[in-house]
């Protein structure tokens, strides 16, 4: 396969200086500290609604299905019991990534989720951790390709195929027993573990380009090169005002949104392409990138943290966006800065891992919400859903809904 090279769009330091954490049109409403919890036995965080390759969120025979990164709550594990004999949920929550597994939930209402259990049996995935990706309903036979990230050792983009089966009382999954590795970071466009021991390479999100009909995938990466060797030059700095020319240690932040193209619609063979967006000198993480196609435009969203910003620039935990008339850009930053929906300054860690759906609804999970003094309550559960409106290169928060409200946009009736 041969594809024309494209020039990545740069998210510059000047762009990041435009971030306004106090703009109500790009701020997520406050989450109450008395939020409900989906489960007393597991934590959930990154949420992956079942969808089709055009982004449509679907139900199956009337059942909505979501996949989540999941970890057991361990209230009886001695390592999480404090000297006073009480369970330390905060330490347990912070330890969750090391034993992350992908589980699924189902619902008749698009909320009030029922736990279905593991997607893959223990030992099926070739690495110790199952990290986020995207479940795709392929047809009305109920076949699903789950694209996800195999982590430790290494980080590999992979997929596993299975099938959804429904009844009057619930949903089960079958198959999901043969994992196919697709590709790793190449060291040419995307940084490898050998180049940086804390490299990022994960979160596959496949889609059909509505204009050329080909199968592509976006993912999180870091720009290739040995850690600390990247130059933060005039193109990365942008048009900054006086006093903002010093970039400090910004050369260590080299996040990017990567893209690959499949050989055919089966999605078994892929070619890695240059990044769509780079954030050299701005931010080190561009997690869970995904598209919304609207008004003949490509809306590209990603999530990032305040702590992954480079020296001299900052922004809230939340979702950031870029828009273009063409898949390969150039892209314009949403709201001039990129910020689409950030946490309020008074509750900077309340939600994360936002997923923007084509109907404008945005789901995320609750991380931690302040209670009294310096104390806070751990979430590990679905946050209230928020609706945003996209107008050209601007976005506006419109309203908030119930916790974990992820309604299907279309119901698929299976032929089985």
Q: Does 107 sit behind a cis peptide bond, omega within 30 degrees of 0 on the bond before it? A: no
Largest CA distance in the chain: 66
Yes or no: say if 30 and 61 are a contact pair by the CB < 8 Å rule: no
Closest CA to 220 of 266, 278, 306, 181: 278
H and E: helices and strands count for the chain: 3, 25
What span, in angstroms and rounded, lies between the C-alpha atoms of 222 and 108? 40
Look at residue 15 and give its three-state secondary structure.
Answer: helix
SS3 of the chain: helix, strand, coil, percent, to 5: 5, 45, 45
The DSSP output letter for 267 is: -
Q: Is 399 annotated as a binding residue?
A: no
Q: Give the burial string for 58-70 (b: 16+ CB within 10 Å, else e).
A: bbbbebbbbbbbb
**Which one of the listed residues 92, 236, 287, 382 is annotated catalytic?**
287
Contacts of residue 234, defined as CB under 8 A and 6 or more positions apart, other chains included, come to: none
Q: Is 84 annotated as a binding residue?
A: no
40 given a catalytic annotation: no
Q: Is 203 annotated as a binding residue?
A: yes
Q: Is 286 annotated as a binding residue?
A: yes
Give the DSSP H/E element, type plus range, for residue 205: strand 202-208
Q: How far is CA 39 from CA 44, 83, 379, 380, 382, in A?
A: 9, 26, 10, 9, 10
268 given a catalytic annotation: no
Yes or no: say if 340 and 355 are a contact pair by the CB < 8 Å rule: no
Yes or no: say if 21 and 315 are a contact pair by the CB < 8 Å rule: yes
Q: How far is CA 124 from CA 130, 146, 259, in A?
A: 10, 13, 27
- The phi, psi pair for 394, rounded to 5°, reads -125, 155
**Which one of the listed residues 15, 46, 130, 236 is annotated catalytic?**
46
Yes or no: say if 132 and 150 are a contact pair by the CB < 8 Å rule: no
What's the half-sphere exposure (Cβ side, CA atoms, 13 Å) at 210?
A: 15
What span, in angstroms and rounded, lies between the C-alpha atoms of 79 and 72? 14
Q: Is 74 annotated as a binding residue?
A: no
Annotated binding site for Ca(2+): 284
Annotated binding site for substrate: 132, 202-203, 285-287
Annotated binding site: 132, 202-203, 284-287
| Residues classed as catalytic | 46, 287
């Amino acid at each position: 396969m041969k594809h024309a090279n494209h020039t990545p769009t740069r998210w510059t330091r000047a762009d990041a200086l435009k971030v306004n954490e106090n703009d109500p049109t790009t701020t997520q409403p406050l989450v109450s500290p008395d939020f409900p919890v989906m489960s007393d036995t597991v934590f959930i965080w990154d949420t992956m609604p079942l969808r089709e390759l055009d982004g449509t969120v679907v139900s199956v025979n009337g059942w909505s299905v979501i996949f989540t990164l999941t970890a057991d709550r361990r209230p009886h594990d001695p390592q999480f019991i404090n000297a006073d004999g009480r369970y330390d949920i905060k330490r347990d929550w912070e330890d969750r990534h090391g034993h992350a597994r992908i589980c699924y939930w189902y619902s008749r209402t698009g909320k009030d989720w029922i736990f279905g259990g593991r997607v893959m049996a223990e030992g099926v995935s070739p690495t110790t951790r199952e990290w986020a990706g995207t479940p795709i309903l392929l047809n009305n036979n109920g076949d699903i390709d789950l694209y996800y990230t195999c982590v430790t050792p290494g980080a590999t983009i992979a997929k596993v195929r299975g099938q959804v089966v429904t009844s009057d009382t619930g949903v089960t999954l079958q198959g999901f027993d043969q994992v196919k590795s697709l590709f790793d970071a190449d060291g040419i466009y995307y940084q490898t573990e050998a180049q940086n021991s804390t490299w990022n390479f994960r979160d596959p999100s496949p889609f059909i380009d509505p204009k050329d009909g080909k199968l592509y995938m976006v993912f999180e990466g870091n720009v290739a090169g040995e850690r600390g060797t990247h130059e933060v030059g005039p193109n990365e700095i942008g048009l900054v005002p006086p006093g903002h020319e010093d970039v400090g240690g910004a050369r260590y932040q080299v996040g990017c949104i990567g893209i690959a193209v499949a050989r055919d619609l089966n999605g078994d063979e892929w070619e890695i392409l240059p990044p769509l967006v780079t954030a050299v000198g701005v931010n080190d993480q561009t997690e869970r990138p995904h598209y919304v196609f609207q008004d003949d435009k490509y809306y590209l969203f990603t999530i990032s943290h305040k702590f992954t910003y480079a020296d001299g620039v900052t922004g809230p935990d939340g979702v950031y966006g870029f828009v273009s008339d063409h898949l390969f850009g150039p892209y314009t930053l949403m709201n001039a800065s990129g910020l689409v929906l950030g946490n309020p300054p008074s509750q900077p860690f309340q939600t994360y891992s936002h997923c923007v759906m084509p109907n404008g609804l945005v789901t995320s999970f609750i991380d931690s919400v302040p209670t009294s003094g310096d104390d806070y309550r751990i979430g590990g559960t679905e946050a209230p859903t928020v609706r945003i409106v996209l107008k050209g290169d601007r976005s506006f928060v419109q309203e908030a809904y119930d916790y974990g409200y992820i309604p299907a946009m279309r119901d698929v009736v299976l032929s089985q």
